Chain A
Amino acid sequence: MDVKDKIKYIFSYKIAGKLLIELNTKKAFKNFKPPKNWRTDILAPPLRTGVYTKEIIAKHYLEGRYVSGVKPVAWVTSGAPIEILKALGFYILYPENHGALCGARKVALEISEEAEKKGYSIDICSYARTDIGATLSKKTPVGKLPKPDLLLCCTNICQTVLYWYRVLAEYYKVPLIVIDTPFVYDEAKKHDIEYVKKQLEASIEVSEKVAGKSLSFSKLKEVVRLSKMAAELWLEIMNANKNKPAPISVFDQFIHMAPIVEKRGDPETVDFYSKMLDEIRERIKNGIGAVKNERKRVLWDNLPIWYKIRFLSEFLAENGVSVVASTYTNAWGELAPMMDIERPIESMAKTYVYPILNRGTGHKLKTMETMVKEFDLDGAILHSDRSCKPYSVGQMDQRLKLLNELGVAALLLEADHNDPRAFADEQIKSRLKAFMEMMD
């Protein structure tokens, strides 16, 4: 470890940076009020505990600026089993989350174009394009991203990540761990789980080598425990929307899910979500709904459209439509019960095979059907995301089943989660209008 790096890290992040961020949070919490242009006529104010989301994310990226040479850095896919790396003290960066942040801050296109200029096709996943663009150009809205010492790619969300991480491995010349998770058409087979378990076990040695220390199993158990706790809280937060009116919208969940993705396994994340849950319970007690005049309740399928969250949230709320459940945000909570703290590797092998994206199209339909019943929904918006084939294939059949068998209005909304070129405001508005008419 370089002493200069360490001093810089301690001063700029641990002392000054963190302090400044925490002071800002305190101030923001105390003087909490909705942003200036917030549509208070149709929406409840944002969650007050949301100031901590900003704090967690700000700290995370600030640490990233100074962490190189102090902690080992791993770049990982969003569904990757990070518990081992966490227990080894890695700083973990999620390129997909960074991509989402670029999308929400409306700089994803400019960054993606850097990749396109180098020959990366416009038809590859826009997260990958954003990340490769950021890698090639060093452009990022967070100042600077730390270079990885290790890459961890898990195919439980798609195969795309495998090729994408190959590109990263080629560029950064660092080891790449691939955890290949067989696709579950109905139930995972014994040899599927065994295969993943073996890969997880093999990954320990590589990770230890990069970290320069051995894995402590008690630390691993602690990380798994915290990870599970945070995921359970997240699940409770989402389930709170079974109440009418729903206390937070899925658009809020999209914003506040960052810690469950990139900071699970940390005690602060558990504290954060329990505070948030308290605030949500308070809202329920006071009958506050995310959408002031909740007339219709719908579900969102697939990734968010990061650069249009506000637009969609307001347009739907204006018409009394609250988006209350989502297969996407649910993915970070639904597997929590499968984690077994006493058998971390075995349970990780099982848990990481079962994310919704690694399961069949019929399973996704079942998940949506359950949501329709449990959340008492009137409709479903299926974002047909041209960037994300694994999530989108099957939606046409799923939509018809929802429509014909459950009798709920269902809309296929063509767009892209991070590429604004695939979004036409007026066209989307008229599609949504027609959808809302179907629900009336």
Chain B
Amino acid sequence: MLHVKIPTRKEVIEEEKSKGKRIAAVYPIHYSRELFRAFNIQPVEVWGPPKTDTRKANAHLQSYICSVVQSGLSFYLEGYLDIVDLIVVPHSCDSLQGLGSIFKDFIKPKQELVTIYLPREKNKENVEFLANELKRIYKQLSQLCGFEPDNERLMEEIKTEEEIDTLVLKFYKSRGNLPLSSREFYTILRSREYLPPDKFKSILEYALLHASKGKLKKTGIVLSGLLPEPMDILDVIDDMDAFVAIDDMACCMRRVYEEGNSSDPFERMAERIVNGPPDPTKGNSFDERFEFIKSLVDLTSAKGVIFYNVKFCEPEYFYHPILKEKLGKAQIRSLIIENDINEPLPQQTITRIKAFIEMIRELS
């Protein structure tokens, strides 16, 4: 266990506000943190949050919309986002598209609403499109904030994010040497969703100081999906003397982008997202996704993959059967489970996870 205090979202919002910064509530998944930071806007991401009472959202959304969107909307309607200055809705899937549209047309929040369309394929036309989309948002933010950060300022923020991405990769690579439970590891990692870069960086650096030489002698698992919520899933894995060695999750690894090449800040931000790790919401091919997950398994010597799906999440559903088959052919065992982020893990799911870990341990 590390003795490090990670501030809560609320504390961060209050502190940043007191410094005169604006706060953007950002829905999942991809966006350029650096663009917002250049305008002195602190992004605070809204992944649910889990265990939210979703009754308020029920007036706007049917029951077959995923719990991430249900909770995200309820959270807003309950007034928890009253303190923020902007609401950002990336176009990650049909349900988030709907959320953005409902906000704009019916709920009409008092805050500025920013939508981002994310291109689906990995090519240079898409980089160009996204760069233009980011320029459009730049204009919107300039109007809101009353100033236009220059290219130098944008590049500075981009470099900071790139540095952090490199550090995050280092953190992942040291996972096996860190005396952290999976819950602790992901609590640290996910604090990036709302911490200013310097704070997040210092927490990571501190944690890395505690990396030991000896590797964890536990069964490593790759966790794939949207987000590890409820976090009890991590405890269930750890309780089996196993641990999440690395992940293919939307809130974490899928957003660890590579450095861009372009010297134009907009193109560079766009390159980073478009060329980032494969992600079902970006419609990457099966081969790209398989190769990526396999590389995670190889890197960490993980013994199996758990696909942890949010119920009603179509982008993820479509990939499971073929990915499972491909992994099976490569002798990598996998398990598919699903849950609602607002529900406790059912006993049956816990039993399946335990049985899976026992099996892969016996087979290895």
Chain A residues in the interface with B (C-beta under 8 A): 118-121, 123-125, 128, 155, 158-160, 162-164, 166-167, 169-170, 178, 180, 182-183, 185-186, 189, 191-192, 195, 198-199, 202, 360-362, 365, 384, 386, 389-390, 392-397, 401, 414
Contact = CB atoms under 8 A, between A and B. Distances in A.
Given A123-B317, A160-B94, A361-B101, A191 B133 contact: yes
B106 A389 contact: no
Contacts of B93: 159
B120 A180 contact: yes
Contact of B94 (A202, A384, A389): A389
B205 interface: no
12 contacts: A123-B314, A124-B314, A159-B97, A178-B283, A180-B126, A195-B128, A362-B104, A384-B62, A389-B94, A390-B98, A394-B98, A395-B62
A361 B103 CA distance: 10
Contacts of A170: 285-286, 322
B62 A392 contact: yes
Contact of A183 (B91, B102, B314): B91
A337 to B, nearest CB: 24
Contacts of B280: 163
Interface residues of B, number: 48
B294 interface: no
Contact of A394 (B101, B318, B320): B101
Given A163-B283, A170-B286, A182-B117, A361 B98 contact: yes
A121 B336 CA distance: 11
B129 A195 contact: yes
Contacts of A166: 283, 285-286, 318-319
A189 B95 CA distance: 22
Interface in B118-161: 119-121, 125-126, 128-129, 132-133, 136
B120 A202 contact: no
Given A195-B129, A389-B314, A119 B101 contact: no
Nearest to A392: B62
A384 B64 CA distance: 10
B104 A164 contact: no
Nearest to A186: B104
A414 B62 CA distance: 9
Contacts of A121: 317, 320
A189 B322 CA distance: 37
B286 A362 contact: no
B43 to A, nearest CB: 20
Contacts of B198: none
Q: List the 6 closest A-B pairs by CB distance, nearest first.
A: A393-B98, A362-B105, A163-B318, A119-B321, A191-B132, A397-B106
Contact of A120 (B91, B115, B119, B317): B317
B312 interface: yes
B179 interface: no
Contacts of B121: 178, 180
A191 B102 contact: no
Contacts of B126: 180, 195
A406 to B, nearest CB: 15
B123 to A, nearest CB: 9
Interface string B57-91: 00111101100000000000000000000000001
Contacts of A198: 125
B105 A361 contact: yes
B317 to A, nearest CB: 4
Nearest to B313: A123
A211 to B, nearest CB: 22
Interface in B17-44: none
Interface in B287-327: 311-312, 314-315, 317-322, 324
B106 A164 contact: no
B65 A189 contact: no
Contact of B64 (A159, A163, A389, A401): A389
Given A360-B104, A384-B62, A394-B105, 11 more contacts: A120-B321, A162-B283, A167-B318, A180-B120, A183-B91, A185-B100, A361-B105, A389-B64, A390-B94, A393-B99, A397-B105
B325 to A, nearest CB: 9
A192 B133 CA distance: 9
Contact of A397 (B64, B102, B120): B102
Nearest to B64: A386
A120 B320 CA distance: 8
A195 B99 CA distance: 24
Nearest to B282: A162
A169 B319 CA distance: 12
A397 B60 contact: yes
B283 A389 contact: no
Nearest to B129: A195
Contacts of A361: 98, 101-102, 105-106
A81 B106 CA distance: 31
B337 to A, nearest CB: 12
Nearest to A169: B285
Contacts of A180: 119-121, 126
